[in-house]
Amino acid sequence: PIPAGGDFLGHPKGVYVCFFTEMWERFSFYGMKALLLLYLTKYHLFGDGPGLDLLGAYGGLVYCIPVIGGVLADRWLGMRKAVVFGGILLCLGHLGMAFEGHAAVNVGGQVVRDEGALRITYLSLALIIMGVGFLKPNISTIVGKLYADNDPRRDSGFSLFYAGINLGALFASLVCGFLGEVYGWKYGFGAAGIGMLVGLGMFLWGQKYLHGHAEPSAPHTLRERVAGVPREWLIYALAIAGVLPVAWLMWAAGSGAFALGGEVSLALMLMIVVLGVVLLWFAWFTGTRCPPVQRQQMIALMVLIFMALVFFTLYEQTYGSWVTFTDRMLTKDVAPSLVITGGTPLPWSIASLLLAPLSFVVAARMSDRDAASNAPRTLFIAVVALMLVLLVRDCVVLPQTAGSLTYLGALFLVLLAPIFAALWAWLDRRGLDPSKPVKSAWGLVFAGLSFIPLAWAAQQVGMTGQMASVWWLVLAYLVLEIGEMCLSPVGLSAVTQLAVPRVVSLMMGTWFLATAFSETLAALFGKLAAIDVPEGEVMDIAAASAKYAHLFWLMMWIGLGCAVVAFIAAPLLRRMMHGVK
C-alpha cells in the first residue's frame, strides 16, 4: 500500500529524502575516490603498484560488505536504523581521511612515511567500507518500499534516485577533486566529510516521511539480550569491532603483505569467500525455503544480477583502459572555450548543478498522471535549457586531464535520467513498457556499442600515427550511459520487487557484490591493453593502438553476445517473474 502522507510532485515524499541522502553519500564516496590514488602516490609516495592494490582492495570490499549490512537490516535492524548507523560510520571515516599528517620524504632512495597518519587513513577507509555496507543497500531498498507492488511509477522513481547518485558523483569530482589538488588534500577529503554530514542530517530530518516503511520486522528481537547486551547494541558493537580487521586488510593490500603469489590480495580472497557463501545460501534458500512462484522470481532476479555483473565489467573500463587510452591517444582539442571563462570551469559547473535538480522536479511531475497534459512541454524546455548549460560547461571542462574526463559518465547520467524517467512513464501509459529483462538486455547492447567509437579511434590512430579526437570518447560515454540508464536503476527496482520480502536487503547487497566482482574482472581485462614503455624509449604507437583496438572490440563482442543471450532468455525470465512488471 502507498504510505499515508501524500506525494510530492508525483512521487512519495520519502523518495526525495532518499534522493538527497544518497546524493550526499555518493558525493562523499566519489569525492574521496577521486583523490585516494593521487593522495597515496603523491603525498605518501606509494608506488603505482601498491597504490592500485590498495584501491582495488578498497573497491572490492566496499561493494562486498553491503551483503552483510543487508542481512543485518533484513533480520533485525530494519533499513532506517541501518542507514543512520552507516551514515555515522561514513562521517567518521571521511573526516578521518582529512587528517593527513606529514608528507613522506625520499631520503637517498629510502622513503620515510608518516606511519601514524597512514594508520589513520587505513582506519578511515575501513570505517567508510563498513558505513557503505550499512547504508548503500538499505537506502536503495527503502525507495522500493515506498511504492505499492506493481506501482507503474517504480522504475521512474528509481531513475530519479539514480540521478541523485550521479548528481553527487558529478559534484564530487569537481569540488573534492579541485579542492584536494589545488588547495590541499585535507580540504578535498574534508569537503567529502562535510557532504556526508549534510546527507546524514538530511536523513535524520526526513525519516518521518518514510512512514514506518523501513522499520525492523520484529522490533522485540532488537531488545532481546544476547550475552547480557541488547541485540541492537551488540550488532553496533560488532560492526565497530569489525572495522579493525578491515583496516588491517587495507594495510595488507597497501603493503603487499600476505598476497597470494604476490598478486591476489587478502581482500580479494575474502570477496571470493563471500560470493561462495552467498551462492550456497541462495541455492539452499530457494531450494528449501521458497514456494515455487517465489523460487522462480528469485532465480529470475539472480539472472538480472548476473547481467549487471557483465554490464559493470564493461562499465568499469571507463576508470581503467578508457583513461589511459584518452591520455595516450586522444587530443584534448576543444581548449579555446577555456579562454572565455578565464580558465576556471567552476562557475559553469555550479550553474549547471543548480539547474539539474530543476529537471528532476519537472520529470517527477511528468510521471504524475494528472499532470501529464502540460508536462511534456515543460519537460522539453527544462531539458533543453539544462543541456545548453551543461554543453557549454562541457566544452569548458573538456581540456582537462584524461582522468578528470571520467566525470562525463555522471554528466550524461544526470542529463538522461529525467528523459528516461519520463520515457518509462510515457511507454507505460501506452501499454508499451518493456519488461525488465528486455530493458536490461538493451543495457548490455548499449554497453557493447559504446566501445565501437573507441575501437575506431584506436584503429585510426594506428593507421595515421596521429591522435584521434576526444569527441569519440564523448560519444562512447553517451552510448554507455544510455545503457546504464536501461539496466542499473531498473535492476535496483527489480531487486525490490522480485526478492522475497524478508531477504530484500540481502539481495540488494548481492546486487552490489556483483559490482565488486566486475571491478576485479574489469582490471583483468584492462591488462590486455597494458602498455609498458621502458625508461628512455618511445611508445610504439601502432602496437599500442592495436592492443587497445583488440580490447575494445573484445568488450563490444562480450556486450553484444551477452545481450543476444539475454534477449533470447527474456520471455522465459518474464514468465518466471509471474506478473511482476
Nearest-approach distance from CB 371 to ligand GLN, in angstroms: 29
Residue 26 interacting with ligand GLN (CB under 6 A): yes
**Closer by beta carbon to ligand GLN, 296 or else 488:** 488
DSSP string, 220-274: HHHHSEETTEEHHHHHHHHHHHHHHHHHHHHHHHHHTTT-BTTTB-HHHHHHHHH
Nearest-approach distance from CB 512 to ligand GLN, in angstroms: 6
Residue 417 interacting with ligand GLN (CB under 6 A): no
Nearest-approach distance from CB 448 to ligand GLN, in angstroms: 18
Residue nearest to ligand GLN (CB): 515
379 and 426 Cβ atoms separated by less than 8 Å = no
DSSP string, 474-518: HHHHHHHHHHHHHHHHHHHHHHHHHS-GGGHHHHHHHHHHHHHHH
61 and 270 Cβ atoms separated by less than 8 Å = yes
**Closer by beta carbon to ligand GLN, 312 or else 412:** 312
Residue count at the site for ligand GLN (CB under 6 A)?
6
Residue with cell 567529502: 192
**Closer by beta carbon to ligand GLN, 312 or else 322:** 312
Nearest-approach distance from CB 319 to ligand GLN, in angstroms: 11
**Closer by beta carbon to ligand GLN, 197 or else 487:** 487
Nearest-approach distance from CB 391 to ligand GLN, in angstroms: 23
DSSP string, 57-118: HHHHHHTTTHHHHHHHIIIII-HHHHHHHHHHHHHHHHHHHT---PPPEEETTEEE--HHHH
Nearest-approach distance from CB 47 to ligand GLN, in angstroms: 28
**Closer by beta carbon to ligand GLN, 28 or else 460:** 28
How far apart are the C-alpha atoms of 201 and 427, rounded to whole Å?
37
* Footprint of ligand GLN on 151-190 (CB under 6 A): 165
152 and 27 Cβ atoms separated by less than 8 Å = no
**Closer by beta carbon to ligand GLN, 165 or else 267:** 165
Contacts by residues 290-294 (CB-CB < 8 Å, ≥ 24 positions apart): 290/500, 293/578, 294/500
* Footprint of ligand GLN on 471-490 (CB under 6 A): 488
**Closer by beta carbon to ligand GLN, 207 or else 406:** 406
Q: What is the largest CA-CA distance in the chain?
A: 74
Nearest-approach distance from CB 353 to ligand GLN, in angstroms: 17
CA angle 275, 279, 282 (to 5 degrees): 140
Nearest-approach distance from CB 161 to ligand GLN, in angstroms: 10
Nearest-approach distance from CB 212 to ligand GLN, in angstroms: 26
Nearest Cα neighbor of 217 from 510, 501, 541 is 501
**Closer by beta carbon to ligand GLN, 308 or else 473:** 308
Q: How far is CA 396 from the centre of its chain?
A: 25
Q: Which helix (H) or strand (E) holds 55?
A: helix 48-62
**Closer by beta carbon to ligand GLN, 68 or else 123:** 68
How many CB atoms lie under 10 A from the CB of residue 245? Answer: 12
One symbol per residue from 432 to 471: x for binding ligand GLN (CB under 6 A), - otherwise; what is it?
----------------------------------------
Which letter does DSSP use for residue 435 in this model? P
- C-alpha cell belonging to residue 484: 546504464
Residue 312 interacting with ligand GLN (CB under 6 A): yes
- C-alpha cell belonging to residue 94: 571521511
Q: Which helix (H) or strand (E) holds 468?
A: strand 468-469
**Closer by beta carbon to ligand GLN, 352 or else 515:** 515
Nearest-approach distance from CB 518 to ligand GLN, in angstroms: 7
One symbol per residue from 505 to 544: x for binding ligand GLN (CB under 6 A), - otherwise; what is it?
-------x--x-----------------------------
One symbol per residue from 316 to 355: x for binding ligand GLN (CB under 6 A), - otherwise; what is it?
----------------------------------------
Residues in the site for ligand GLN, rule: CB under 6 A? 26, 165, 312, 488, 512, 515
